[in-house]
């Protein structure tokens, strides 16, 4: 199947006049660029409740960050589907997530804003920093620091190590511009 706009998820978005002109102009850098879109004709962020009903919000990202700080469990539509996210420092929230996911003991992975944030909670070697910041954006097992450790014990129970990752999509980075707590992702 050819990589053409009608065969992608962008088929739902009709190009506006300006984007169509760019798309059809062989001298434009966006000529035949399948994901071409703008704020007028492209995908938009929105916040919906558990029934799929849109929640009015001037900034869905800021509203999502507020919900996370309040201990809510949210789903974030990402590159490979949906990610469940919640505040990793709240025992009640982590226990609620364990119950919903029917996951009594398997550890959860943690996402933190940046390397400096990770250093507050975990020991880091140079090699681990290289792995975390690589283009592969892996989850790396890191040893917890006992001092000032505020991540809920229920994230990984008796484990001395937790799976940690950095934001790897634009929506993660936008979210962490408005929140500075470890998140289960």
Identify the CA nearest to 111 among candidates 169, 37, 54: 169
- The encoded tokens of residue 182 equal 């470890």
Contact 147, 73 (CB under 8 A): no
Residue 8 has pLDDT above 90, yes or no: no
How distant is the alpha carbon of residue 131 from its chain centre? 18
CA torsion sign for 41, 42, 48, 53 is positive
Distance from C-alpha of 63 to C-alpha of 33, rounded to nearest angstrom: 32
- The encoded tokens of residue 34 equal 């399948």
Least confident of 51-55, 82-86, 116-120, 144-148: 144-148
Q: Convert the pLDDT of each residue in 70-81 to its tens digit.
A: 999 999 987 778
How high is the pLDDT of residue 148? 67
Calculate what percentage of the chain has a pLDDT beyond 90: 81
**Distance (Å) of CA 75 to CA 3, 18, 85, 121, 123:** 29, 33, 6, 25, 29
Q: Convert the pLDDT of each residue in 135-184 to its tens digit.
A: 999 999 999 998 767 999 999 999 999 999 999 999 999 999 999 999 99
Q: Convert the pLDDT of each residue in 19-42 to its tens digit.
A: 999 999 999 999 999 999 998 998
How high is the pLDDT of residue 129? 98
How high is the pLDDT of residue 106? 96
Q: Map out the domains of the chain with their CATH numbers.
A: 1-44 (no CATH), 47-184 (3.90.870.10)
């Amino acid at each position: 199947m050819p990589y053409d706009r009608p065969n992608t998820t962008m088929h739902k978005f009709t190009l506006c006049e300006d984007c169509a002109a760019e798309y059809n102009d062989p001298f434009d850098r966006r000529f035949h660029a399948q994901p071409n879109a703008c704020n007028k004709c492209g995908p938009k962020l929105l916040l919906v409740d558990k029934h799929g009903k849109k929640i009015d919000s001037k900034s869905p990202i800021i509203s999502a960050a507020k919900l996370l700080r309040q201990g809510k469990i949210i789903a974030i539509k990402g590159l490979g589907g949906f990610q469940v996210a919640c505040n990793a420092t709240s025992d009640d929230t982590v226990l609620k997530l364990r119950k919903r996911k029917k996951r009594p003991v398997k550890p959860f992975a943690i996402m933190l804003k940046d390397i400096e944030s990770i250093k507050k909670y975990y020991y880091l070697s140079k090699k681990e920093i290289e792995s975390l910041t690589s283009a592969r954006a892996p989850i790396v097992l890191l040893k917890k620091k006992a001092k000032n450790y505020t991540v809920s014990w229920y994230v990984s129970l008796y484990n001395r190590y937790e799976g940690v990752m950095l934001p790897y999509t634009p929506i993660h980075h936008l979210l962490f511009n408005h929140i500075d707590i470890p998140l289960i992702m």
